[in-house]
């Protein structure tokens, strides 16, 4: 008896629905993702059991490295530009070329004296971070008035987003206490008495 041959049929799977789902997922993640920029300095925050969430928008972040150098940053490039324009209106001689302004706005955080800004911002972004690591924003008063640190905070507060602006302080665990105390005193002198302290979450048993 001869063998019965079973006709083989090609299996065809419609991949169109899967492609549609993949494109939708990719679009969703692209629209909802926030790209993290490289901060000027690496800060190892102290541990805390507090789980209070720090706001993600309209935040002026103050970074203090372990050597006590202070850096500032805002969460949107437009805010950075507006703050810079306000400082240029207060400080004479701060004239920056369009490329220097572009480099400043692209920074995640900055920390340099106003007198050094023109020279530092001529460099590429990667070089700017290396240069400003050795500087920081001065907290010494200018001619008996506000310090450069206070001028930058005041410029941010007087921007269009300033009424909703929150302040978050991110200090290194090894930062000398007197540095943090001086910085907080300068904020208090400006009636800036509400701010978030950024820490690393740890368990209560640690």
- Could you read off the pLDDT of 31-50 as tens digits, one per residue? 776 555 566 556 555 555 55
**Domain membership flag for residue 102:** yes
Residue 95 is predicted with a pLDDT of 85
**Domain membership flag for residue 166:** yes
Residue 127 is predicted with a pLDDT of 85
Neighbouring CB atoms inside 10 A of 192's CB total 17
**Domain membership flag for residue 39:** no
Residue 24 is predicted with a pLDDT of 85
What is the rounded distance in angstroms from the CA atom of residue 63 to the CA atom of residue 35?
19
Residue 147 is predicted with a pLDDT of 87
**Domain membership flag for residue 8:** no
- Could you read off the pLDDT of 131-189 as tens digits, one per residue? 888 888 888 776 667 888 999 999 999 888 888 888 888 888 888 888 888 888 888 88
Query: Cα 167 vs. chain centroid, distance in angstroms?
Result: 12
**Between β-strands 70-74 and 166-171, what pairing exists: parallel, antiparallel or unpaired?**
unpaired
Percent of the chain surpassing pLDDT 70: 78
**Domain membership flag for residue 14:** no
- Counting the structural domains of the chain, the total is 1
**Domain membership flag for residue 104:** yes
Which residues span the domain enclosing 174? Answer: 47-201
Q: Is the pLDDT of residue 85 over 70?
A: yes
Between residues 53 and 18, the one the model is more confident about: 18
pTM more than 0.85: no
**Domain membership flag for residue 11:** no
The residues near 205 (Cβ < 8 Å, ≥ 6 apart) are: none
């Amino acid at each position: 008896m001869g063998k019965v041959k079973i006709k083989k049929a090609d299996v065809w799977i419609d991949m169109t629905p899967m492609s549609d789902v993949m494109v939708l997922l990719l679009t969703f993640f692209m629209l909802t993702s926030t790209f993290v920029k490289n901060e000027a300095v690496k800060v190892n925050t102290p541990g805390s059991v507090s789980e209070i969430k720090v706001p993600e928008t309209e935040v002026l972040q103050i970074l203090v490295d372990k050597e006590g150098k202070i850096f500032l940053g805002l969460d949107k490039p437009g805010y950075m530009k507006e703050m810079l324009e306000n400082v240029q209106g207060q400080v004479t001689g701060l004239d920056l070329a369009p490329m220097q302004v572009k480099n400043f706005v692209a920074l995640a955080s900055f920390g340099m004296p106003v007198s050094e800004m023109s020279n530092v911002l001529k460099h590429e972004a990667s070089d700017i971070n290396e240069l400003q690591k050795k500087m920081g924003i001065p907290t010494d008063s200018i001619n008996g008035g506000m310090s450069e640190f206070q001028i930058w905070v005041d410029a941010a507060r007087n921007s269009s987003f300033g009424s909703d602006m929150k302040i978050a302080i991110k200090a290194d665990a090894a930062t000398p206490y007197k540095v943090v105390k001086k910085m907080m005193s300068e904020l208090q002198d400006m009636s800036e008495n509400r701010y978030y302290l950024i820490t690393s979450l740890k368990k209560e048993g640690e």
